[in-house]
Chains A and B, each alone.
Chain A
Amino acid sequence: MGFELVAPRSPEEAFRLLEEGAGAASVLAGGTDLLFDLDRVTTAPRRVVSLRHLPWRGHAWQGDTLVVGSTEPLYELERDGSVAARLPGLHTAIRAVGSRALRHRATLGGNLARAAPASDLLPILLALDATVEIAGPAGTRRMELDRFLLASRTTALRPPELIRSVTVPAAPSVYLWQRVRPANDISQVGVAIAHPGPAVYRIAVGGIVPRPRRLPGAEAGLLSDPPPGPERVRAAEEAAREAPFPSDRRATEEHRRRVVRALVERGLVHLAGGAA
């Protein structure tokens, strides 16, 4: 199961190496998903292109917007107090990913490219209206995350394109998840709510098929600020009804619906100043 491992120093070189590898080349960032696949021979690349020397690491605020390089390890965001303060929902979601040792290497770009239905980062990034910057041989293009995610493990990336950065506008936000073990386990469901302005709530949920998504029906019923009890309950019920939940080895559909209902309500209470 050998492959050639290359670590280009520029995006142009990376595109060339990926194009040459046509179909049999894989991209490697932190490796926490890819190495799992390699062991299971779901992927048998002849060439693996490592992004570790690309100049894309790092993150910075541009006004009220956080721009994160795709190869930035999650831990770098976790330890930055400004992320916890200005994007609390994103900070909680990052802390939910695997263990500290995993987050030292796992990247934001890798999580997006993987587009796993159970990702903890996709719901909060959807709620926060994140955009993805995609780089390719012909230049870069930007896309709303909602359009970037097509289905489970399927994105709008066209090889040899790579995710270059992710842009996240700051907003009061919360992320709540449910799983069996707190660390190194996968969430059964995750609920993300952003509250970017008066009476505006954006709700997204993960742990559903074919991919995490916004819940416009639940959002539409939230008209007051803060929403009173009955409005919160209606939104939570709508969320539990709206999303297409699977039954799988992690949880049944019914369990997921119940938990989402509880988490949406709890998240709204939290954003109104109560305890999460």
Chain B
Amino acid sequence: MSGPDGSALVVNGRAHPIDGVPSHERLLDTLRGRLDLKGTKEGCRTGNCGACTVLVDGRSALSCLVLTHEVGDEPVTTIEGIAADPNGRRVQQAFLEEGALQCGYCTPGFVVALTGLLSESPGATAEELLTDLQGNLCRCTGYAAIVRAVRTLRAEGP
């Protein structure tokens, strides 16, 4: 499905027409405000917290720093669609088992970012994964359990 000028945004496998979306609108606002996908969170809106992380063509992106119309035909995956990805399911399971969340506000960003890392760098060690997760902040400072979840994932292998 696409709009009259052909522009569509593909999110979690579904195409949404976006010709009515203003040029200056950010992906974060389109996802939450128009598509009612509220799993993606707004923390800082300046690229500093990672709460708004989604995958664009399989790679993590800060949706607060991306114009919706700049996504083009690259598919977007949000936390709502992450379970369709086997790595996404593994990350969710690891977070569940380790209880890696307190208020949960940062969790979608962490789960999406980690899913992207596992797909991009299947051979990454736990330490490497943790280094590349440094852009995700947890305001509750519940890092210990998040670190455990990452180690659990690596212990079971790629």
Q: A4-B23, A31-B65, A38-B24 are in contact. Are A99 and B50 (CB under 8 A)?
A: yes
Give A118 to B15 CA distance when docked, in angstroms: 40
Whether a CB of chain B sits under 8 angstroms from the CB of A102 is yes
A46 to chain B, nearest CB (A): 11
Whether a CB of chain B sits under 8 angstroms from the CB of A154 is no
Give A102 to B116 CA distance when docked, in angstroms: 13
Whether a CB of chain B sits under 8 angstroms from the CB of A48 is yes
Contact of A101 with B70 in the complex, beta carbons under 8 Å? no
Question: CB within 8 A of B69: which of A5, A39, A184?
Answer: A5
B47 to chain A, nearest CB (A): 6
Whether a CB of chain B sits under 8 angstroms from the CB of A61 is no
Cβ of B61: which chain A residues have Cβ within 8 Å of it? 101, 104-105
Within 77-124 of B, Cβ neighbours of A (below 8 Å) are at 113, 116-117
Q: Which residue of B lies closest to A4 (CB)?
A: B23
A79 to chain B, nearest CB (A): 8
Question: CB within 8 A of A101: which of B22, B26, B46, B135?
Answer: B135
Q: A3-B23, A5-B69, A48-B23 are in contact. Are A101 and B134 (CB under 8 A)?
A: no
The digit string for A6-33, where 1 denotes a CB below 8 A from any CB of B, is 0100000000000000000000100110
Give A208 to B134 CA distance when docked, in angstroms: 26
Cβ of A181: which chain B residues have Cβ within 8 Å of it? 134
Contact of A104 with B69 in the complex, beta carbons under 8 Å? no
Whether a CB of chain B sits under 8 angstroms from the CB of A234 is no
Contact of A52 with B24 in the complex, beta carbons under 8 Å? no
Whether a CB of chain B sits under 8 angstroms from the CB of A1 is yes
Within 18-69 of A, Cβ neighbours of B (below 8 Å) are at 28, 31-32, 35-36, 38-39, 48, 50, 52
Whether a CB of chain A sits under 8 angstroms from the CB of B59 is yes
Whether a CB of chain A sits under 8 angstroms from the CB of B40 is no
Give A1 to B22 CA distance when docked, in angstroms: 10
A95 to chain B, nearest CB (A): 9
Contact of B22 with A2 in the complex, beta carbons under 8 Å? yes
B119 to chain A, nearest CB (A): 12
Within 40-86 of B, Cβ neighbours of A (below 8 Å) are at 45-50, 53, 56, 59-62, 64-67, 69-70, 72
Cβ of A2: which chain B residues have Cβ within 8 Å of it? 22-24
Q: A5-B67, A36-B46, A50-B70 are in contact. Are A102 and B62 (CB under 8 A)?
A: yes
Whether a CB of chain A sits under 8 angstroms from the CB of B132 is yes
Contact of A101 with B113 in the complex, beta carbons under 8 Å? yes
Give A48 to B23 CA distance when docked, in angstroms: 9
Q: A35-B67, A184-B47, A184-B134 are in contact. Are A101 and B24 (CB under 8 A)?
A: no
Cβ of A52: which chain B residues have Cβ within 8 Å of it? 70, 72
Question: CB within 8 A of A100: which of B22, B23, B66, B135?
Answer: B135
Give A100 to B129 CA distance when docked, in angstroms: 11
B72 to chain A, nearest CB (A): 7
Whether a CB of chain B sits under 8 angstroms from the CB of A182 is yes
Q: Which residues of B contact A (CB under 8 A)?
A: 22-24, 26, 45-50, 53, 56, 59-62, 64-67, 69-70, 72, 113, 116-117, 132, 134-137
Interface pairs (9), CB distance under 8 Å: A3-B24, A7-B70, A35-B66, A35-B67, A38-B24, A48-B23, A101-B62, A104-B60, A184-B137
Q: Which residues of A contact B (CB under 8 A)?
A: 1-5, 7, 28, 31-32, 35-36, 38-39, 48, 50, 52, 75, 98-102, 104-105, 181-184
Given A99-B62, A105-B65, 17 other A-B residues pairs in contact with their CB atoms under 8 A: A3-B23, A5-B23, A31-B66, A31-B67, A35-B64, A36-B47, A36-B65, A38-B24, A39-B46, A52-B72, A99-B136, A100-B132, A101-B53, A102-B135, A183-B135, A184-B47, A184-B50
